[in-house]
Chains A and B, each alone.
Chain A
Amino acid sequence: MNNVFVYCEITEENYIADVSLELISKARKLANTLGVQLEAIVAGSNVNDLEKSLYPYGVDIINYADDKRLFPYQTLPHFSIVTKLIKEKQPQIILFGATSVGRDLAPRVASFLRCGLTADCTSLEIGEYEDKKEGKVIENLLYQIRPAFGGNIIATIVNPYTRPQMATVREGVMKKEIFSETHKGEVVKLNVNDYVQDSDFCIEILERHIEQQKVNIKGAQIIVCGGYGMASKPEGFKLLHELAETLGGEVGATRAAVDAGMTEHERQVGQTGVTVRPKLYIGCGVSGAVQHRAGMDQSSKIISINTDVNAPLNSIADYTIIGDAFEVVPKLIQYYKKNSK
Chain B
Amino acid sequence: MSLKIVVLAKQVPDTRNVGKDAMTPEGTVNRQALPAIFNPEDLNALEMALEIKDRVPGSTITVVTMGPGRAAEIIRDSMFRGADNGVVLSDRKLGGSDTLATSYAISQAVKKVGKVDIVFGGRQAIDGDTAQVGPQTAEKLEIPQITYAEELIDVTEKDITIKRRLERGVEVVKAQFPLLVTAHASAKACRFYNAKRVMKYKKAFSKSEAEANGFDTNLWNQFPYLKIEEWNAADVACEDDRIGLAGSPTKVKKIDNVVLSQKENVTLEPTDENIDSLVKQLIDTHIIG
A interface, CB within 8 angstroms of B: 12, 72, 75-76, 99-100, 103-108, 110-112, 114-120, 122-123, 129, 143-145, 147-162, 173-175, 202-213, 219, 222, 247-248, 279-280, 300-301, 303, 305, 309, 314-324, 327-328, 331-332, 335-336, 338-340
Contacts and interface: CB of A to CB of B under 8 A. Distances in A.
B136 interface: yes
A100 B167 contact: yes
B42 interface: no
B138 interface: yes
Contacts of B148: 100, 104
Given A100-B147, A107-B131, A153 B136 contact: no
B251 A119 contact: no
Interface stretch (B62-70, B96-104, B195-203): B96-104
B209 to A, nearest CB: 27
B191 interface: no
A149 B103 CA distance: 20
Binding site secondary structure of chain B: mixed
Contacts of A213: 168
Contact of B99 (A105, A107, A174): A107
B238 interface: no
B275 A328 contact: yes
B287 to A, nearest CB: 5
A120 B288 contact: no
B129 interface: yes
A222 B15 CA distance: 22
Interface in B207-262: 248-258, 260
Contact of B287 (A105, A120, A160, A301): A301
B126 interface: yes
B29 A152 contact: yes
B176 interface: yes
Closest 5 A/B residue pairs (Cβ): A150-B15, A323-B270, A116-B249, A210-B169, A116-B250
B81 to A, nearest CB: 26
Interface in B132-179: 132-140, 144-148, 161, 166-176
26 contacts: A76-B144, A104-B148, A110-B100, A110-B136, A111-B100, A114-B100, A117-B132, A129-B251, A143-B253, A152-B22, A154-B285, A158-B250, A161-B249, A174-B289, A203-B146, A203-B175, A204-B173, A204-B174, A204-B175, A209-B170, A209-B171, A213-B168, A309-B267, A317-B265, A318-B263, A319-B267
Given A149-B127, A319-B266, A111 B172 contact: no
What is the interface residue range for chain B against chain A?
Answer: 35 or more
Interface of B: 15-16, 18, 22-23, 29, 98-100, 103, 126-140, 144-148, 161, 166-176, 248-258, 260, 263-270, 272, 274-276, 278-280, 282-283, 285-289
Contact of A206 (B29, B134, B138, B174): B174
Nearest to A278: B287
B266 A119 contact: no
Given A154-B286, A203-B174, A207-B171, 13 more contacts: A115-B249, A119-B129, A152-B260, A156-B255, A156-B256, A157-B250, A202-B175, A210-B171, A319-B268, A328-B275, A332-B279, A335-B279, A339-B283
A155 B266 contact: no
Contacts of B255: 153-156
A185 B60 CA distance: 55
Given A103-B131, A116-B250, A151-B258, A108 B265 contact: no
Binding site secondary structure of chain A: mixed
Contacts of A12: 168
Nearest to B269: A322
Contacts of A159: 249-251
A153 B288 contact: no
Contacts of B172: 205-208
A159 to B, nearest CB: 5
Contacts of A114: 100, 249
A174 B289 CA distance: 7
B286 A145 contact: yes
A239 to B, nearest CB: 15
A336 B255 CA distance: 25
Contacts of A280: 282, 287-288
B225 to A, nearest CB: 34
A68 B62 CA distance: 40
B289 A156 contact: no
Contacts of B144: 75-76, 202-203
A160 B248 CA distance: 11
Scoring A119, A162, A280, A316 by chain B CB atoms within 10 A of each residue's CB, the highest score goes to A119
Contacts of A120: 129-130
